[in-house]
Chains A and B, each alone.
Chain A
C-alpha cells in the first residue's frame, strides 16, 4: 500500500465514521422513536405503533405542510428572480471590484444567521428604521405593520438564503463560454432569445442546485418564522420543534421529521436524476 493510498483510506474512513455516527445513527434513532408510543408528555414507552404517522393525516398538520411548501416555493422563486440577474451580471463584470462583490455575498456568513434575523426586526418593526424613513419622506402617514406577518418571514428567508442561490448560479454562469452567446447573436437571436435559448438552458444546473439549496433549508428554518412571524406562521420546522420542546410528544415530532426527511430525499433524488440527464456538474 502506497503512502497516497493510505491517506485516501484514512480520510474516507474518517468521513464515513463521522457520517455514520452523526447522521445515520441519529436518523435511525429518530425513526425508532417515531414508531413508539407517548402516553404522557416527555415520556416514551417502547410500544410499537403507527399512530404517529396516522396522526399526520390531521388536516391541521397537512395545512402546516402545505404552508411550508408554499413558503419554500415562494422563497425559492424570489431568490431566483433576485439572484439570477445578480449572478449573471457579476459573471459578466470584468471590472476591478469583482472579488469585492463576491466577498460581499459571503460576508453575512461570518455572523450567526440568528443574530442577522434579529437585526431584521430593527429594520422592519413598527418604530423601526424602514417605517421611520418612509414616514420622514412623507411616503406613508402611519407605520406599516410588517412584523409578525408572512411577508416578514418571507423577507427573512430570502435574505438568509439568497447567497445559496447566487453562488451556484455564479459558478455556472462564470464558466459559460461567451462565444456561445456571440454565436447565438450571429445567427440572428436578439438579447431575449439568446438568453432564453442559450444562456438559461446552459445555466440550468446552477438554477437547480441553487433552488435545492434554498428550497430545502426553507422547510426547516424554524427560527426565522419564530422570530419574524411570531405564533401566527407555523411551518413544518416549527411544528417539529414544538412537538419536541413544547408538547413534549417526541414520537409525534419524530414522525413529522421522518416525513420531512423522506420528502427531501425524493427531491434530492429528482435533482440527482435531472443533473445526470443534462450532464451538468453543478457545484
Chain B
C-alpha cells in the first residue's frame, strides 16, 4: 500500500486512555494532495488519530511518518502540519491579523513577508477587510474562516481539520463545504478531515476512511463506500439502507437465484456465494422502485403494503411492509410524465430494484 508519494504514513498505531483502547493497531497511508475524510460515530477514534498525526497526542505503539520523515516522537510545534480545531481555538487577545500571523512569527518569517502572506491567506478565506477585528466580534462562520486562514498561512504539508463545520448552521455548512474544497484544490495541500456526518464525508472527499471502535472498517472512494459497503457497520453508518434476509438457492455462472424474504428473486450481479449461504441483501432506498399492482394474482417477486408516504419535495418516501413483515423504505423521484405519482396508504405494491444494484453481505 505504501508508496513514495505518501505524505502521511501511520504504522500499527495503538492508543488507549486509562486502559480503554481508542485506536487499535491501525495502518493508514495518505497520498500527497488527497482530501481524505475520517468518518465514524463519536468515540470511534477518528479525532484521536488526527491528534496523533498533529502530535497533540502521543501513540502508545506504532510510528508516524510525515513527508517520509519519522516524526513519532517529534513535538507538534516541529511537525509540518497545522490543525483547524473544532472550537476554532482563536487567540482571544489577538486581532484577526495577529492570529493568522502567529504561526509565521513563530517560524521567524521576515515582517514584510508575514504581512503579504497573512493578507493572501485572509483573501483566500474572503476576510480581507477583517484584519483589525477581534475574534469575539466575528460571527461563527467568520471565526471558522480565520481558523482556516491561520492554519493554511504556514503552507503545511498536511492540513488537519477536526469537525470544523459542526458548529455552523446547515446553510453555512453547505457553503463552507464547497469553499473548503476550492481552497484545497487551489492550494494543493493534503487535507485530513474528521467528521461524523456521512453526507459531508461523501460530498467533499477523494477518499473516505470509515472507522468504528478504533479500527478502519472500510477505506475507499465515496462511491465505493456508498455503493459497496464492506460490512454491515459501513452499510448502516453511511446513508440509509434496507436490510433483507436472503438464502442462496442456486448459482448459475455466478448469478444467483435466492429466496429473499420468502420470495424467489433473481440477482443479476456476479457474486461468489454458494448454494445454501445465508446472506443479507442490502438496498438503498433510492434504488428501490415501487409499482402499483394491477392484476391481483400477477407474479411479482416482492410485494408489500404501503404504510406511510412522506412528501420530501424532490422525492416521495414510502414505508412499505413486505409480506414477510419486514419494513423497508423507498425513496423515489417524482416522474414529470406522471402527475398522479402517489400511493395510497394500505395499497398493495410490488417492490423492485435496479438490476445488480443490490449488495450482498454474509449473514453473521
Contacts and interface: CB of A to CB of B under 8 A. Distances in A.
Contact of A177 (B75, B82, B89, B151): B89
A156 to B, nearest CB: 36
A13 to B, nearest CB: 37
B106 A180 contact: no
B107 A188 contact: yes
Given A179-B85, A193-B106, A197-B102, A186 B77 contact: yes
Contacts of B102: 184, 187, 189, 197
B77 A189 contact: yes
A188 B154 contact: yes
Given A179-B89, A201-B93, A202-B93, A187 B56 contact: no
Contacts of A177: 87, 89
Interface string A212-247: 000000000000000000000000000000000000
B85 A187 contact: no
A262 to B, nearest CB: 32
Contacts of A182: 56, 76, 83, 85, 89
A145 B48 CA distance: 58
Interface string B72-89: 000111100111010101
A92 interface: no
A128 interface: no
A67 to B, nearest CB: 36
B176 to A, nearest CB: 19
A278 interface: yes
A187 B85 CA distance: 12
A198 interface: yes
B91 interface: yes
A190 B77 contact: yes
A189 B103 CA distance: 8
A273 interface: no
Contacts of B54: 186
Contact of A185 (B76, B92, B150, B154): B76
Contacts of A180: 89, 91-92
A187 B108 CA distance: 12
Nearest to A204: B93
Interface residues of B, number: 24
A186 B82 contact: yes
Nearest to A202: B93
Contacts of A186: 54, 56, 76-77, 81-83, 151
Nearest to A181: B89
Task: Count chain B CB atoms within 10 A of each CB in A180, A201, A202, A278 and give the residue with the most.
Answer: A180
A191 B138 CA distance: 29
A186 B55 CA distance: 8
A188 B77 contact: yes
B106 A183 contact: no
Interface in A37-72: none
B83 A183 contact: yes
Interface in A143-196: 177, 179-180, 182-190, 193
Nearest to A179: B89
Contacts of A187: 77, 82, 102-103, 106, 150, 154
B103 to A, nearest CB: 4
A190 B74 CA distance: 12
A15 B186 CA distance: 64
A278 B56 CA distance: 29
Contacts of B85: 179, 182-183
Task: Count chain B CB atoms within 10 A of each CB in A179, A180, A183, A187 and give the residue with the most.
Answer: A187
B93 A278 contact: yes
Contacts of B93: 201-202, 278
Contacts of A179: 85, 87, 89
B355 to A, nearest CB: 51
Contacts of A202: 91-93
Interface in B141-169: 150-151, 154
Interface in B30-57: 54-56
Nearest to A201: B93
Given A193-B106, A197-B102, A185 B77 contact: yes
B189 to A, nearest CB: 15
A192 to B, nearest CB: 11
A179 B56 CA distance: 10
A47 to B, nearest CB: 55
Contacts of B83: 182-183, 186
Interface of B: 54-56, 75-78, 81-83, 85, 87, 89-93, 102-103, 106-107, 150-151, 154
22 contacts: A177-B87, A179-B85, A179-B89, A180-B92, A182-B76, A182-B83, A183-B83, A183-B85, A183-B89, A184-B91, A185-B55, A185-B75, A185-B76, A186-B76, A186-B83, A187-B82, A188-B106, A188-B107, A189-B102, A190-B77, A198-B91, A202-B93
Q: Which 8 A-B pairs have the closest CB atoms?
A: A187-B103, A188-B106, A179-B89, A183-B89, A185-B76, A186-B83, A189-B106, A201-B93
